[in-house]
């Protein structure tokens, strides 16, 4: 192996190590700190590693707060929002990819441009709409709002992936007697599964971490999501950092599990869904 190649590989390994430290380091520190005692977290003892495996932060989190309720609310909202967004995105993306009509391009651009609006800009109009519909302080209203914010990217992703599927195989299925919906489900959708996985992962992460709308549209504690519930642990004069770190670690685990499950689809993103 030549010297330039060795240097190139060493540089790549160093870059990967730095990226690992930057992205994984904070989460690793949060995991370790969640097992620290209060005096360690308050700066009395400045050790990187916990002196003992202090698990009371996790037990106190479940006993002194509504963390299980927050977790269940977030799961319900994330799953239902992702399901609605994927179904609508698949249908809309397929229509935009296969049907040519006047204003097709303009409609696609208008859908994508909706993603450019800041969430804080839409908070007041959405609040007024939910108030008139009687959906404030309800999971249904929050699901509709989150679906609205996630749909533009999901539609764009699915439309681009459907463009990579040869239309000839769908035409063959239609000739063999398949309906348009059957051709979509059995022929066009399987090759576009990486796009659906990417859209679903984007939707789950966006909904799971969403704070502004959940904090604005939800008033009662029993309907709060994880992000808002954990924020309530921050007091005006004191903060239970142990419970906050434990909640943050537990909040991250479902996302890690989902990405691990979808990894084989997400690795195919570079190979498709790039047509304009």
pLDDT in tens, the chain (276 residues): 566 777 788 888 898 889 888 888 888 888 999 999 888 887 766 677 888 888 999 999 998 889 999 999 999 999 999 999 999 999 999 999 988 888 888 888 888 888 788 888 889 999 999 999 999 999 999 999 999 999 998 998 899 889 988 888 888 888 888 888 888 888 888 888 888 888 998 899 889 989 999 999 998 989 999 999 998 888 766 788 889 999 999 999 888 888 787 777 666 654 444 444
- Rounded to an integer, what distance in angstroms lies between the CA atom of residue 93 and that of residue 189? 11
Nearest of 173, 186, 153 to residue 273 by alpha carbon: 153
- Rounded to an integer, what distance in angstroms lies between the CA atom of residue 254 and that of residue 78? 11
- 66-271 belongs to CATH 1.20.1250.20: no
Alpha helices by DSSP H, the chain: 3-33, 38-41, 56-64, 67-98, 104-113, 119-133, 139-163, 167-175, 180-183, 193-209, 212-217, 226-231, 241-261, 263-266
- Rounded to an integer, what distance in angstroms lies between the CA atom of residue 32 and that of residue 35? 6
Nearest of 210, 213, 209 to residue 255 by alpha carbon: 209
Question: Any bridge partners for residue 239, and if so which?
Answer: 234
Q: What is the pLDDT of residue 57?
A: 92
Model pTM score = 0.84
8-state DSSP, 164: T
Query: Would you kindly state where each structural domain of the chain is located, as residue ranges?
Result: 66-271
231 three-class SS: helix
Inter-residue contact 244 to 132 (CB < 8 Å): no
- Rounded to an integer, what distance in angstroms lies between the CA atom of residue 26 and that of residue 22? 7
8-state DSSP, 44: S
- Rounded to an integer, what distance in angstroms lies between the CA atom of residue 3 and that of residue 51? 45
């Amino acid at each position: 192996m030549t010297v330039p190649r060795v240097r190139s590989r060493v540089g790549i390994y160093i870059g990967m190590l730095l990226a690992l430290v930057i992205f994984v380091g904070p989460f690793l520190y949060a995991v370790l700190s969640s097992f620290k005692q209060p005096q360690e977290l308050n700066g009395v003892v400045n050790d990187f590693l916990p002196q003992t495996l202090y698990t009371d932060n996790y037990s106190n989190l479940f006993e002194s707060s509504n963390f299980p309720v927050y977790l269940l609310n977030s799961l319900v909202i994330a799953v239902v929002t992702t399901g609605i967004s994927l179904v609508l995105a698949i249908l809309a993306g397929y229509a935009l990819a296969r049907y040519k009509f006047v204003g097709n391009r303009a409609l696609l651009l208008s859908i994508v441009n909706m993603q450019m609006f800041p969430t804080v800009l839409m908070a007041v109009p959405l609040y007024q709409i939910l108030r008139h519909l009687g959906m404030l302080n309800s999971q249904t209203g929050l699901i509709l709002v989150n679906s609205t914010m996630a749909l533009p990217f999901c539609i764009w992703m699915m439309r681009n992936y459907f463009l990579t599927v040869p239309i000839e195989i769908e035409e063959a299925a239609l000739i063999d007697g398949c309906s348009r919906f059957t051709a979509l489900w059995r022929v066009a959708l399987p090759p576009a599964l990486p796009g659906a996985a990417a859209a679903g992962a984007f939707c789950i992460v966006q909904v799971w971490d969403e704070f502004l709308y959940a904090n604005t549209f939800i008033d009662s504690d029993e309907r709060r999501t994880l992000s808002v519930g954990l924020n309530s642990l921050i007091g005006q004069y004191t903060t239970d950092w142990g419970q906050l770190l434990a909640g943050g670690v537990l909040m991250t685990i479902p996302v890690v599990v989902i990405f691990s499950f979808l990894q084989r689809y997400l690795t195919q993103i570079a190979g498709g869904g790039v047509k304009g």
